[in-house]
Copies of this chain bind each other. A is one copy, B any other.
Amino acid sequence: MQIEELDTPAVLIDLDVLEGNVRRMAERAAACGVALRPHGKTHKLIEVARLQRDAGARGMTLAKLGEAEAFAAAGFDDIFVAYPVVGALKARRALALARRVRLAVGVDSPEGALTLSAVFAEGGNSLDVLLKVDVGYHRVGVPPEHALETAIRIAELPGLRLRGIFTHAGQGYAAETPTAVQAAGHVEGATLAQTAEELRRAGLAIEVVSVGSTPTAPHAMGMAGVTECRPGNYVYHDASQVSLGTCGLEDCALTVLATVVSTPAPERAVLDAGSKTLSSDPLRPRPGGFGLLLGTRSRLDRLSEEHGVVGVDAADRFRVGQRVRVLPNHSCVVSNLHDRVFAVRGDRVEAVWTLAARGRVQ
């Protein structure tokens, strides 16, 4: 089947670009001597996780137990849920999962870890946990200056084994220049490695020192003391990564094929792809529309659920029925909106992939 035979909107994954992205990040991790444990949230696809594994990835990262369960069912047996797993229902699911795969989960407070501890200790089980450290994003995680105190309290809980520490330098997505992104990566790696040393001096066996985020990963993983990196977005990239200078347009594997359904005014064209297809996520680091129209100077100025409103650049003309390719602001959230994506090579559709871990919110 050819791309032109597809109905729209449709999410296309360019296999050549995907394979190059997977290979390059694996090579970078190998060169730095760190384990690559990619975040599967970006693709939510068994097929792409296999490509990553074949290229040398050691295990997977996921955000929710439901995603981990989907990949475990497909044979992935080494999973880190990089998220504070809180509450009795989730603790029991974690226990069931830990019986089938090598599982670790995130914690960032003794209070949050208590239920996990109780559920695992009850049957004499043990769960690997990693403490989240906040190196500047200010979302979850303990500040480095409180890491030791929190780590000691968590390490004392029965049923848990504090195996390492991790962070996510999401602040890299707000960095205005490539130099600032690089600096965020260096701070991420250095701060986490330093924190690990402090914990080890107190007698804690910190084996894993794990950094995240596609923009900062190449920089953070080169810092001494880092043992693992968990980038996710790099498999596809997106318009935000291009804006951040992480990659070029030619490194973007995920695009949306859309159709012009209306040209009601010279300055306005409307696509059949809106927020239900592209999400309302803003462009990073600075807002700038909701997607680039490849091969044109125009971009999506506003979205409603089923409409993408193009601000038509004077150099462009659109006609009703014309097909266009949109580069979304944020590819991870696009994956979550679709039941299937089309894997293409050149103009040919090689496969239709079902998103095994889509919509797993719990």
Interface residues, chain A, with chain B CB atoms under 8 Å away: 7-10, 41, 63-64, 83-84, 86-87, 89-90, 108-109, 111-112, 115, 134, 138-143, 170, 259-265, 268, 270, 272-273, 275-277, 279-282, 304-307, 309, 319-321, 332-333, 336-339, 359, 361-362
Q: B336, A276: Cβ atoms under 8 Å?
A: yes
Q: B264, A83: Cβ atoms under 8 Å?
A: no
Chain B residue numbers with a CB within 8 Å of A134 are: 264
Q: Which of B140, B142, B276 contacts A270 (CB 8 A)?
A: B140
Q: B281, A280: Cβ atoms under 8 Å?
A: yes
In whole Å, how far is A261's beta carbon from the nearest beta carbon of chain B? 4
Given contact pairs A140-B261, A264-B141, A7 touches B362 in the complex (Cβ within 8 A): yes
Closest to A362 in B: B7
Closest to A64 in B: B306
Majority secondary structure of chain A interface residues (helix, strand, loop or mixed): loop
Given contact pairs A139-B304, A140-B307, A309-B139, A275 touches B333 in the complex (Cβ within 8 A): yes
Q: B262, A109: Cβ atoms under 8 Å?
A: yes
Task: With a 10 A CB-CB cut-off, give which of A83, A86, A170, A262 has the most chain B CB atoms.
Answer: A262
Q: B321, A86: Cβ atoms under 8 Å?
A: yes
Chain B residue numbers with a CB within 8 Å of A319 are: 111
Assembly of this chain: how many copies? 2
Chain B residue numbers with a CB within 8 Å of A279 are: 275, 279-280
Closest to A329 in B: B280
Q: A41, B305: Cβ atoms under 8 Å?
A: yes
In whole Å, how far is A120's beta carbon from the nearest beta carbon of chain B? 17
Q: B63, A109: Cβ atoms under 8 Å?
A: no
Given contact pairs A139-B307, A270-B139, A277-B361, A336 touches B333 in the complex (Cβ within 8 A): no
Chain B residue numbers with a CB within 8 Å of A304 are: 139, 170
A36 vs B143: C-alpha distance in the bound complex, in angstroms? Answer: 55
Closest to A65 in B: B7
Identify 24 residue pairs between A and B in the complex whose beta-carbon atoms are under 8 Å apart, listed by A's number.
Answer: A7-B87, A7-B90, A9-B361, A83-B272, A84-B270, A86-B261, A86-B272, A86-B321, A108-B262, A111-B320, A112-B261, A134-B264, A139-B264, A139-B304, A143-B264, A275-B279, A275-B281, A275-B333, A280-B282, A305-B336, A336-B337, A337-B337, A338-B359, A339-B359
Closest to A273 in B: B361
Closest to A132 in B: B262
In whole Å, how far is A360's beta carbon from the nearest beta carbon of chain B? 9
Given contact pairs A279-B280, A305-B333, A321-B115, A264 touches B140 in the complex (Cβ within 8 A): yes
